């Protein structure tokens, strides 16, 4: 009986988080090898869009199904950024941008993640290229904020703007 429970838990964990990746991106699920993503970012000249999610986060699912997956399928999002997901409920270690192992909780705390979903766009070294987008409200408003964040990040990455944008005057409501 315990074997069936272990199998059920393993299968539920396998499908707990939908996959996020563009056609040319590396990785097939929640990211654990950020150094590999950093190399791809460096080679392609695209910033990395980190999507911090958590288990049982309905707004995370909406963000993925309403914004990210359609953007990747249409090709426009994947041409602008490398999209990678990190589940903040994950334990263990990940390979950091420099290739060294770091505990998952330390990786999350570095980016001050206090709610999910949170999207942060970074350079190949993991340095923020703007303010985080916290929460999800609706497709139109979120898409506008995301497009602006991606444009600003691309300018920062290529030396045409500041490396970290100032925080928004009125942060969006967390859904």
In a domain, 82, yes or no: yes
The pLDDT, as a whole number, for residue 29 is 52
6 domain residue, yes or no: no
Q: Can you give the residue range of the structural domain that contains 116?
A: 16-157
Please list, residue by residue across 123-136, b when 16 or more beta carbons sit within 10 angstroms of its beta carbon and e when fewer do.
bbebebbbbbbbbb
Give a yes or no: residue 149 inside a domain. Answer: yes
Q: N- to C-terminal Cα distance for the chain?
A: 39
**What total number of domains does the chain contain?**
1
Residue 174 domain-assigned (yes or no): no
Whole-prediction pTM? 0.76
C-alpha distances in Å from residue 23, one per residue of 40, 44, 85, 86, 167: 13, 13, 15, 19, 32
Of 33, 20, 42, the closest CA to residue 119 belongs to 20
In a domain, 3, yes or no: no
The reported pLDDT for the residue numbered 72 is 94
Low-confidence ranges of the chain (pLDDT < 50): 2, 4-28, 163-173, 175
What is the pLDDT, as a whole number, of residue 117? 97
Q: Could you tell me the CATH number of the domain that includes residue 87?
A: 3.40.30.10
- For residue 87, being part of any structural domain is answered with yes
Would 153 be classed as within a structural domain? yes
């Amino acid at each position: 009986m315990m074997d069936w429970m272990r199998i059920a838990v393993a299968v539920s964990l396998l499908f707990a988080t939908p996959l996020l990746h563009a056609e040319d991106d590396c990785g097939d699920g929640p990211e654990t090898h950020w150094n590999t993503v950093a190399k791809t970012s460096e080679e392609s000249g695209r910033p990395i869009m980190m999507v911090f999610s958590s288990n049982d986060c309905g707004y995370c699912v909406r963000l993925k199904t309403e914004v990210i997956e359609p953007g990747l399928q249409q090709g426009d999002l994947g041409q602008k950024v490398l999209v990678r997901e990190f589940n903040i409920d994950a334990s263990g270690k990940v390979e950091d941008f420099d290739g060294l192992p770091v505990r998952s909780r330390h990786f999350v705390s570095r980016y001050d993640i206090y709610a999910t979903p949170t999207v942060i766009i970074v350079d190949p070294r993991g340095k923020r290229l703007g303010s985080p987008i916290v929460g999800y409200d609706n497709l139109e408003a979120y898409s506008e904020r995301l497009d602006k964040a991606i444009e600003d990040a691309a300018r920062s990455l290529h030396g045409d703007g500041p490396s970290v944008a100032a925080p928004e005057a009125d942060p969006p409501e967390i859904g």
